Amino acid sequence: MAKVIVNGEIVENTWQRLTSEELDQQDVPAEGAVIVPLAYWLAHRDALLERAAPVGVCLEPGEEPTDLAADLAALPLVAVNFPAFKDGRGYSYARELRTRYGFEGEVRAVGDVLQDQLFYMHRVGFNAFEVRADRDIEEALNGLRPFSVTYQGDVHDERPIYRRQSA
Amino acid sequence: MYVYQDYDQRLLEERVAQYRDQTRRYLAGQLSEDEFLVLRLQNGLYIQRYAPMMRISVPYGMLNSTQVRKLASITRDYDKGFCHVSTRQNIQLNWPELADTPDILAELASVQMHAIQTSGNCIRNITTDEYAGVNPREIEDPRPWCEVIRQWATFNPEFAYLPRKFKIAVNAVPDADPALIGVHDIGVQIVHDHNGETGFQVWAGGGLGRTPMTGEVIGEFVAWPDLLAYLEAILRVYNKYGNRDNKYKARIKILVKALGADKFRELAEAEFAELKGGAMTLTREEVARIKACFVDPDYRTDVDTTALHNALDQHRAFNRWYHTNTRAHKKDGYRSVTLTLKKTGRIPGDITDEQLEDVADLADRYAFSEVRTTHQQNMVLADVAEDELYDLWQQLDALGFATPNLGLITDIVACPGGDLCALANAKSVPIAEGIQRQFDDLDFVHDLGPLDVNISGCMNACGHHHIGHIGILGVDKKGKEFYQITLGGRGDRQSRIGEKMGPSFESHEVTGVIGKIISVYLDNRLENEPFISTYERIGMDPFKEVVYG
Ligand code: HEM
Ligand code: SF4
């Protein structure tokens, strides 16, 4: 089974992410944790909530957490897809999930997720990373800690450095 | 200057280590071209026509002499013995080896310098007036606010992958725009309320390049504690809604235009409402700490100007230089001196390793060891006692930095163009040189008065041609180099974009055309009327008639 980084550790990926193309072809399996697209979630919310296994929702760029705000309490996981690592919208979405909506579940970065982006992703609120399949996940783990210093606050500690220093 | 704490230094060193590892992985084939591109750009590295170009950050244009000496040795050891002052006040190297770039960054870090976020789709170097802190017309020193913004912008995790590059400038002069805030993604105008408390009028949506535009006022008065929250709100709106499908429509100016300033303001205010009063609110203590880094140097109070006045009477060349290349200073007995890097025959903005060392020596001797870079590609010694000006002038003259043409027709701003830049449609440097040679009579040049000539080798507008009184843009027509002329741009007050004149010209025609434009001006000007005012009074037609007639 594929691996994923969750809370700084490499673990088995227990979630199956289904794309809208896949969901056009097949139904959501009865068993196992699944991640579905936002549109699918909005259309099948009640049925999905009746499943025994957990359900998460994946946001694409352009689909903001606002679209999901009312449902967040029912969700253990929100994934944010990066179709290309250069598209930085997901950074604002993760921050919004954490600070605007106080979402405490797993926020998972999926798609074109690479070592050199992990540190920033973690600071805006992602705590899980599906590193791109062709990359060494052990090596990618190093990407979580290139810096011991940060000027600005982040979702973990909102205080900028000078407030942290004087505390 | 801002004094580094341990943590500022540690951050730089960790950055070097990170980049060294990224370069290693790239050279080992573990990072693709495309992935490394983004990482190297955020470390200042472009791949250019002949070699990489490295853009070294000069926060708000401030350098100390130790840093200038380091730039000299880097230029000598890793490049061909010269570098370039850019229109963003940064320093550019033109021929470093890719494999050397981690070492260059390590050398820079040893003097508290770096190339962080000098390229790429992130928040770039913060710029301001090159006379910041000594300009008698400013209402307060803008540099502490630049530094506050710099720290917030550096490695800001949310804004490292914006739709496009992002530039912020700060201005503290009420009735002029020396920092060009009108043509920045965000312009911050320092204002005071009726109690004398500092606040900011925040502009957004200006920019040059393709589709040049001036910005709109988004925040009418942002109280100083809220500065970062307000900037963050604007950036967040841009990050979420900026166009990512088309790189030519990705700048914030396009978003502000598409939504309209009112709608944009509404979105920004909504984000701001959430941030206001939170942990990012600036504190008096922190602002005071940063302000304490920009206190006045130990100005002398015994400056005797008798000798200066004698020298001004006796030396015509010195007199001319004094009136052209030095500026009034907030402190009696001092002036700011601009070193013009525009001697005919030299690429505008270029400076050699030895000259850098000489400049560093002069800064130590005459200007409290500080040097500044300017967006007109010159350098400034900001605090020179008037009784030392004559000495300084003699030395600058020997170095070729005393050409008395600051702000005149031969003080041309030009990008490197086709001689170095892979994106160029045409050369810029020979055009600049042609104009400088045509106007080689200093009396005549002075008689013409203030005149900004700006040249860019392509639409990207690195030479700021849109805001030149006379702008020259390299265009490609069926594989041949042509030049489009614009008139009436200005970056001095409320910035304005120049107006296209008509069909473009071949390279050998350009100096002749400039000559004709000047003759129309001379025939029409009122007494003491600068070129730009004549243009604004008589409009484009008289110029067209003569040039195309
Ligand atoms: C030689 C390598 C260079 C390359 C490849 C390069 C590339 C670019 C590009 C692609 C843009 C356009 C971005 C946009 O607005 O969409 C741009 C803009 C700009 N460049 Fe360069 N540039 C180079 C050198 C320089 C130099 C030497 C200077 C300064 C002398 C400079 C200063 C600027 C400035 C000020 C702008 C911004 C125009 C604005 O306000 O929008 N660049 N450059
Ligand atoms: S304006 Fe064009 S030619 Fe000139 S430096 Fe910029 S990208 Fe190159």
pLDDT of residue A71: 96
Contact A162 B286 (CB under 8 A): yes
Q: How far is CA B170 from the centre of its chain?
A: 12
B103 & B212 share domain: no
Q: Does A146 touch chain B (CB under 8 A)?
A: yes
B433 & B538 share domain: yes
B158 & B263 share domain: yes
pLDDT of residue B447: 96
Q: Is residue B136 part of a domain?
A: no
pLDDT mean values, one per 10 residues, chain B (549 residues): 93 96 93 90 80 92 98 97 94 91 96 96 96 98 98 97 97 95 97 97 95 95 98 98 94 97 98 97 97 96 96 97 98 98 92 97 98 97 98 97 97 93 93 96 96 96 96 95 97 89 96 98 96 97 96
Question: What CATH number has the domain bearing residue A66?
Answer: 3.20.20.70
CA distance A156 to chain B (A): 12
A97, A65 contact by CB (below 8 A): yes
Q: How far is CA B381 from CA B360, B370, B397, in A?
A: 10, 7, 15
Contact B240 A89 (CB under 8 A): yes
Structure tokens at B51: 């070699």
Nearest to B138 by CA among B177, B174, B179: B174
DSSP-derived letter for residue A98 is I
B209 & B321 share domain: no
pLDDT of residue B48: 65
| H or E stretch covering B272 | helix B261-275
Q: How far is CA B340 from CA B465, B492, B531, in A?
A: 19, 19, 21
B41 & B71 share domain: yes
The preferred substitution site among B462, B467, B497 for testing ligand 1, maximizing ligand atoms within 8 Å of CB, is: B462
Question: What CATH number has the domain bearing residue B42?
Answer: 3.90.480.20
B426 & B540 share domain: yes
Q: What total of structural domains would you count in chain A?
A: 1
pLDDT per position as a tens digit, A18-51: 999 999 999 999 899 999 999 999 999 999 999 9
Q: Is residue B257 part of a domain?
A: yes
B432 & B338 share domain: no
Q: How far is CA B57 from the centre of its chain?
A: 11
The burial class, CB within 10 Å (0-12 / 13-18 / 19+), for B401 is buried
Compare CB distances from B155 to A100, A121, A151 and report the shortest one's residue: A151
Hey, which residues does B94 pair with through a beta bridge?
none
pLDDT per position as a tens digit, A65-82: 999 999 999 999 999 999
Average per-residue pLDDT for chain A: 95
B207 & B312 share domain: no
Within 8 A of A145 by CB-CB distance, chain B residues are none
B457, B474 contact by CB (below 8 A): yes
Contact B240 A114 (CB under 8 A): no
Domain that holds residue B378: 306-399
Q: How many Cβ atoms sit within 10 Å of the Cβ of residue B224?
A: 18
Kindly give the pairing relationship between strand A128-129 and strand A106-111. Answer: parallel
Q: Is residue B502 part of a domain?
A: yes
pLDDT of residue B222: 98
Query: Is 80 exceeded by the pLDDT of residue A167?
Result: no
pLDDT of residue B47: 76
Q: Is residue B379 part of a domain?
A: yes
B541 & B457 share domain: yes
Helices (H), B276-418: 284-291, 306-314, 316-325, 353-366, 389-399
Q: Does A82 touch chain B (CB under 8 A)?
A: no
Q: Is residue B214 part of a domain?
A: yes
Q: Is residue B119 part of a domain?
A: no
pLDDT of residue B49: 63
Q: Which of B353, B374, B399 is the last residue of a domain?
A: B399
Q: Which of B260, B291, B322 is the last residue of a domain?
A: B291
3-state secondary structure labels for all residues of B37-54 = HHHHHCCCEEECCCCEEE
B269 & B327 share domain: no
Q: Does A7 touch chain B (CB under 8 A)?
A: no
pLDDT per position as a tens digit, B50-108: 678 899 999 999 999 999 999 999 999 999 999 999 999 999 998 899 899 999 999 99
Q: Is residue B405 part of a domain?
A: no
Within 8 A of A151 by CB-CB distance, chain B residues are 11, 151-152, 154-156
Distance A90 CA to ligand 1 centre (A): 27
Compare CB distances from B158 to A61, A91, A119 and report the shortest one's residue: A91
B283 & B360 share domain: no
Question: What CATH number has the domain bearing residue B457?
Answer: 3.30.413.10
| Residue B474 alpha carbon, nearest atom of ligand 2 | 3
B191 & B258 share domain: yes
Pocket of ligand 1 (CB under 6 A): B 46, 48, 53, 84, 86-88, 92, 183, 207-209, 415-416, 420-421, 423, 460-462
Nearest to B342 by CA among B431, B248, B293, B414: B414
Identity at B496, one-letter amino acid code: R
Q: Report ipTM (2 d.p.).
A: 0.96
Q: What total of structural domains would you count in chain B?
A: 4
Domain that holds residue A125: 3-163
Within 8 A of B144 by CB-CB distance, chain A residues are none
Q: Which of B267, B291, B315 is the last residue of a domain?
A: B291
Distance CA A7, CA A5 (A): 7
pLDDT of residue B438: 96
